[in-house]
Chain A
């Protein structure tokens, strides 16, 4: 038998299982074989998990045979970013330091996926400890963009975006701290969601910057990404920052009317935007207008300070979170260090890649004696102003529409020499991260040379429903 794995949707899997076109185990074997055969093109998977996947698929088949509910994601082949821990399954964080790390527990999001019947087929490549915008900072080699193999897939969740674009998983989980789900979604032409801060438990997400870290889903359609979000969202006792707000049924609310919705276009995000991206977003706004949305120009004046604020807060938190990789508990350790201090320093000096070192250094510097007020406190005040900008804007508009990235996918190696230039490219995604509001990238078209461009939709805290509905309306409107 042959299943067209690359085009499958969650609904397609559900229908195929129900009609007995295939069993979960047959689908699992086909999906794994396809993913393993295709992976050398992109290097998107770091590890495959055939034993775990087959066990999960057989559980689904057993439940279906017994006439039980096998879950909303029954049989769906899923990939998980390698910064999200999986019990008994190597989790590297894209780092040499954790090359052989086998976690003793599952992240809550992973548990929830499997409870919903999902079949985890592998772990995806990413920038080391999720630090990067191109996936070129992985210790295990870069990921190539399946849309154009000489280009980057974006980062840091480049592998998770690439497998969905390539068709080697139906959906996947990534993580987003300053744009690491939305930007690769935009570069690879898939849907990527960063939910409200606290909407999804981070228990088992290896910490980068705790006040900014999110787990978020990728899908080839808004409905698939929304279904994945619904399965992992909700309060978790193991993560004190997870939100108590009840989780709505995102799929039930997906196809609502968007007529009369006011969409804010922040002028700060459109000045200086290249025409190849700007034209695609302008055309997408026209589609929303044709669906009855009302565009309104708005201003988010603190935008100019977002990069500075983000790179202080994120690196300060990272310097603290990454202190645990010290050669004692779970990392590789250089041979025969003379003293404890030598052991720490050489473990970290040899283990971390250049980008992690840069961020640890910057974070340590801004928190060091004498600099705290000038940098860290000031950055947190700027963060307040950025969050207030959004709160004020949402008094008048239902959603905000922006580009995801100033440009489409660039070539491998094109931007690696200048770290500041790479940081500046995060401008459109960082503001939503700082404010903690839900944001997503939805494919909006392609540049003249055929590279995907994503449109970002941002809404009020916990209004994933409104955001997804707008994304779905756009997706249907653009297709029709």
Chain B
């Protein structure tokens, strides 16, 4: 096994995903299969190979700086329109700090 159910629970926690016991079980199986395939990369000699972090970047250092122009941002109403719960122009969430 490349990954245990306990590790799956740990990763789900990192990812902020609530998974049922059934989902944890199936996930461990699926991830195991995928990680086994991915292990193929170990055979590849990558000594001295630069990781490819960018695809194409032909622009000069300052080319992507835009002109410093005033522009109208989203209004508060527009920005809040899709939020499930708002209050007084703010996003409302449950209590963060327990008493």
Contact = CB atoms under 8 A, between A and B. Distances in A.
Number of chain B interface residues as a range = 35 or more
Given A378-B41, A380-B51, A420-B33, A197 B11 contact: no
Contact of B55 (A211, A331, A338): A211
A364 B46 contact: no
B5 interface: no
A381 B50 contact: yes
Contacts of B1: none
B40 A384 contact: no
A127 interface: no
A308 B8 contact: no
B55 A349 contact: no
A331 B16 CA distance: 15
A203 interface: no
A240 B44 contact: no
A160 interface: no
A188 interface: no
Contacts of A2: none
Contact of B94 (A196, A332, A343, A378): A343
Interface string B55-99: 110110001101000000010001101111100000101111010
A326 interface: yes
Contact of B56 (A197, A240, A348, A378): A197
Interface stretch (A255-263, A280-288, A355-363): A355-363
Contact of A338 (B31, B40, B94): B94
Interface of A is mostly: helix
Contact of A104 (B33, B74, B85): B74
Given A339-B94, A340-B94, A419-B33, A348 B40 contact: no
A461 B33 CA distance: 34
Given A338-B94, A340-B96, A305 B40 contact: yes
B54 A308 contact: no
B17 A361 contact: yes
Interface string B1-12: 001000110011
Contact of B95 (A198, A332, A339, A375): A339
Contacts of B54: 211
Contacts of B40: 304-305, 308
A333 B84 contact: yes
B77 to A, nearest CB: 9
Contacts of A328: 83, 91, 93
Nearest to A322: B15
Given A344-B16, A381-B49, A358 B31 contact: yes
A112 B18 CA distance: 40
A382 B55 contact: no
Interface string A290-315: 00000000000010110111011000
A88 to B, nearest CB: 10
Given A104-B74, A346-B18, A378 B34 contact: no
Interface of A: 100-102, 104-105, 196-198, 211, 237, 240-241, 243-245, 302, 304-305, 307-309, 311-312, 319, 323, 326-333, 337-346, 348-350, 352, 354, 357-358, 360-362, 364-365, 368, 375, 377-385, 387, 418-420, 423-424, 434, 436, 461
11 contacts: A244-B58, A311-B34, A329-B82, A357-B27, A361-B8, A361-B27, A378-B44, A380-B52, A380-B53, A382-B44, A383-B52
Interface of B: 3, 7-8, 11-12, 14-19, 23, 27, 30-31, 33-35, 37-42, 44, 46, 49-56, 58-59, 63-64, 66, 74, 78-79, 81-85, 91, 93-96, 98
Given A365-B35, A382-B44, A419-B34, 4 more contacts: A323-B16, A358-B27, A378-B46, A382-B46
